[in-house]
Amino acid sequence: MICAPIIEQDIEMMVKSANLANSDLIELRLDYLNNFAGLKRIESINKPKIITCMPEWEGGLFCGTERERAEILLESLKFCGSTDYVSVELKTGKNFLNEVASAAKARKIKVIISHHDFEKTPGIEEILKIIGLEKQAGADIAKVAFTPKNYGDVLTVLSVLNNNLKIPVIAISMGELGKISRVAGLLMGSYLTFASLGKGKESAGGQMSVDEVRAALKFFKN
């Protein structure tokens, strides 16, 4: 699946962009919003969505308290259903994780638990350990994203997908060096890949556009 991040600052523009997106699903980056009034508008989005509000300490924009962030996610989940997801960080406090995960699962919303490392790529055993911790924390889908120093690091992340994983995994090698993982990951069994709606709409370095990812997948599958 191809997921397009929506990084608008206004809820109405976020909903409009989501409904026009040519991806399989969308990720609502609530941390980009200027304010959080009108979250009920989320229910008018016509495709599967991932709800997330990434804090500054995990590469996002949200700078409020963890209680405020939890309340934003909990309010948003009221307008989601069984085809949707919520994404929270493994480094989040246990009470926060449990509260959001419980609210999500009560509505049959799937839980993605993520880990981002903006400095390095650890070895395979360490990555598998992180995925295990995400599963233990209540993830339905585990997400790991690492920063490569060389193409060997990119291969390390991709090779994780060849293991006998007990949970669906999203595996990403970030930045320009890791760009190939955005396509290769899908071909190797990554649960989804993130791709932008166009130039200037990227939520992370190395993201290709939805059209570019589709073209690459078509090329390799034919």
**Residue 198: per-residue pLDDT:** 72
Q: How far apart are CA 222 and CA 217, in angstroms?
A: 9
Q: What's the whole-model pTM score?
A: 0.91
Residues serving a catalytic function are 116, 143
**Residue 42: per-residue pLDDT:** 94
Residue identified by tokens 């926060």 is 96
Residue 204 has pLDDT above 70, yes or no: no
Fold observed for domain 2-221: TIM Barrel (3.20.20)
Q: How far apart are CA 90 and CA 68, in angstroms?
A: 18
Nearest to 153 by CA among 134, 171, 133: 171
Q: Give mean pLDDT, residues 69-76.
A: 96
Q: Crossing angle of helices 94-106/66-77, nearest 10°?
A: 10
| Cα separation values, 20 from 93, 121, 148, 179, Å | 35, 35, 33, 25
**Residue 200: per-residue pLDDT:** 65
Q: Are 191 and 170 in contact (CB under 8 A)?
A: yes
pLDDT tens, residue by residue, 140-180:
999 999 999 999 999 999 999 998 888 999 999 999 999 99
Residue 56 has pLDDT above 80, yes or no: yes
For residue 17, how many C-alpha atoms fall within 13 Å in the half-sphere facing its CB? Answer: 20
Tell me how far the alpha carbon of residue 29 is from its chain's centroid.
9
